[in-house]
Amino acid sequence: MVLKKNIAVSDNGFLFNPTTGDSYSLNATGIEFLKLLQKGKQNDEIIAEISAEFEIDTITVEKDLNDFKSTLVRLKLAE
Amino acid sequence: MNTTNKPTYVIAVTGLNAIDSPGPGISVIRALRDATSFNVRIIGICYETMEPGIYMHDLIDKTYQSPYPSAGVDVLMERFRYINEIENVDFLFPNFDAELFNFIKLEQRFKTELGIKMLLPTSEQFEARHKTELYEFGQKYDIKVPITKSITNASEIAEIAQKIGFPLVVKGKFYDAKIAYNLDQAAQHFQKISAQWGLPILIQQFVHGAEVNVCGVGDGNGELLGAVPMRKLYITDKGKAWSGITIADDELIEMNREMVKSTKWRGPFELEVIKNSNDEFYLIEINPRFPAWCYLTVGAGQNQIESAVNFAMGTKVEPFTTYEVGKMFVRYSYDMIVGIEEFEKISTNGEL
């Protein structure tokens, strides 16, 4: 999955897709997922970081990450 | 604003009906007031005495009532001869589709006899982009347009529906469009729209996707002077944008550039486009004038209205190449308090 380069996200999680004009509000986990994806981190790195930061087991984080990524693709924020 | 060393243009503007389905006049005037390359005296041109712009004295210096387009070109010419004797108008922005036919016919006479310039499409361009002709227009210029058939009897819908399927769109010749999901609905829409707007009625293939609109200007020689795409964020029950946002879409800009290049479009335009899930653009409509949301182009860094005036007045104009993405407009309603004497003046004298 590759994030679209021109999507913009503010510090408080307001995400704007300049191609469609759509905007979304991310929760705290979503903000972290997106930041790490934008940094080019791999799945296992993201899962480890989020699991440590939010004290959640890695299986749950992996499921959430997959859900998040499929949502990004469905909303055409990633390919 | 520095008012020295700049020309002052007297600019007449129609479309002062800043109502829930607004004409473009007030947006055009605000853009003209924001112009940095010239000063303006604004002459409002109204049809009805309740057009809000008439009473907006901070935006419009003087308003004159105009005969309806159905009165014909001679009456219109005489009215502008009178207005011009008083105001010495430099430039005119017609903003209604229904009045454009007359102004296009009068363009040369306005220029030579009255010294009033306009930036309008040619009569061929104006006719070719009519809703009834748009499908052929698309075929001629290699632009995707949903299949559209012009009909005068509701009994013709069934045969067309067999080809294009449901849902389909039932459209009036000038205004109104409704989606029909079956034959009964289509027939109902046909009756309702034809009763209000007359015949023919257009039956159009429904294209699934996101509607985006583009406000732009062509120079008549094939060059695009500016283009800003906007996605509607909130619409009224009449389908008019109540808020919208500028978006980034290079392919859409390129489509506009090609349209202007191939048609040599002259003047302002609004393209209504559907972008489907395969990222293909379908042209739904070309409005041959600035849209009511054109002030957003100023907010996004392209004062296309100022450019249009400068181009028509013979000043060199550099085409805009960038604009700010993510700029929004949010429309609002506002109650003005108006003295009865003002209403009396416009009603009895035809000017205020």
| A3 in any annotated domain | no
What residues of chain A lie within 8 A of the CB of B247, using their CB? 18-21
Cα-Cα end-to-end distance for chain B: 27
Interface of B with A (CB under 8 A): 210, 230-231, 233, 244-249, 325-326
CA separation for the pair A30, A14 (Å, rounded): 10
pLDDT in tens, B210-253: 899 999 999 999 999 999 999 999 988 877 889 999 999 999 99
Neighbours of B244 (CB within 10 A): 24
- In this model, does residue B269 exceed pLDDT 70? yes
Identify all chain B residues contacting A14, using CB atoms and an 8 Å cutoff. none
pLDDT at B132: 83
Share of chain B above pLDDT 70, in %: 99
Query: pLDDT of chain A along its 79 residues, tens only?
Result: 888 888 888 989 999 999 999 999 999 999 999 999 999 999 999 999 999 999 999 999 999 999 999 999 999 899 8
- Report the number of distinct structural domains present in chain A: 1
d(CA B233, CA B229) in angstroms, rounded, equals: 13
Map residue B10 onto helix, strand or coil. strand
Domain assignment of residue A1, yes or no: no
Q: Is it the case that residue B266 has pLDDT exceeding 90?
A: yes
Q: Are B247 and B227 in contact (CB under 8 A)?
A: no
Instruction: Specify the pLDDT at position B282.
Output: 95
pLDDT of residue B268: 98
Is there a contact between B341 and B47 (Cβ–Cβ < 8 Å)?
Answer: no
Considering CB atoms only, which of A8, A16, A19 is closest to B249?
A19
Nearest CA in chain A to B326: A18
The answer to whether the Cβ–Cβ distance between A18 and B233 falls below 8 Å is no
Residues B190 and B157 sit within 8 Å (Cβ to Cβ) = yes
Residue B181 has pLDDT above 70, yes or no: yes
Instruction: Work out the mean pLDDT of chain B and round it to a whole number.
Output: 94
**Window from B22-26, B78-82, B170-174, B259-263 with minimum mean pLDDT:** B170-174
Strand B224-235 to B281-287 pairing: unpaired
pLDDT at A69: 96
On the 0-12 / 13-18 / 19+ scale of CB atoms within 10 A, B12 is: buried
Choose from A5, A20, A24, A79 for mutation: most chain B CBs within 10 A: A20
DSSP secondary structure string, B220-268?
Answer: SSS-EEEEEEEEEEEE-TTS-EEEEEE---HHHHHHHHHHHHHHT-EEE
> Does a structural domain hold residue A62?
yes
Write down all domains in chain B, each with its CATH number in brackets: 8-118+335-349 (3.40.50.20), 147-205 (3.30.1490.20)
Query: pLDDT value at position B3?
Result: 56
ipTM: 0.78
Q: Each residue of B314-323: pLDDT tens digit?
A: 999 999 999 9
Q: Taking CB atoms and an 8 Å cutoff, what residues of chain A touch B245? A: 21
Q: How far is A62 from chain B (nearest CA, A)?
A: 29
Mean pLDDT of chain A: 93
Please indicate, yes or no, if residue A79 is contained in any of the structural domains.
Answer: no
Instruction: Search chain B and give the residue with CA nearest A74.
Output: B277
Tell me, what's the pLDDT at B4?
67
3-state secondary structure chain A: CCECCCCEECCCCEEECCCCCCEEECCHHHHHHHHHHHCCCCHHHHHHHHHHHHCCCHHHHHHHHHHHHHHHHHCCCEC
Which residue from B13, B21, B103 is spatially nearest to B64, judged by alpha carbons?
B13
pLDDT value at residue B161: 94
Q: Which two tokens stand for residue B180?
A: 């029909």
CB–CB of B164/B152 below 8 Å?
no
Domain that holds residue A19: 8-74
Give the pLDDT confidence score for residue B21 in this predicted structure: 86
Write down the pLDDT at residue B10.
98
Mean pLDDT in residue range B180-185: 95
Q: What is the pLDDT of residues B138-174, one digit of tens each?
A: 999 999 999 999 999 999 999 999 999 999 999 988 7
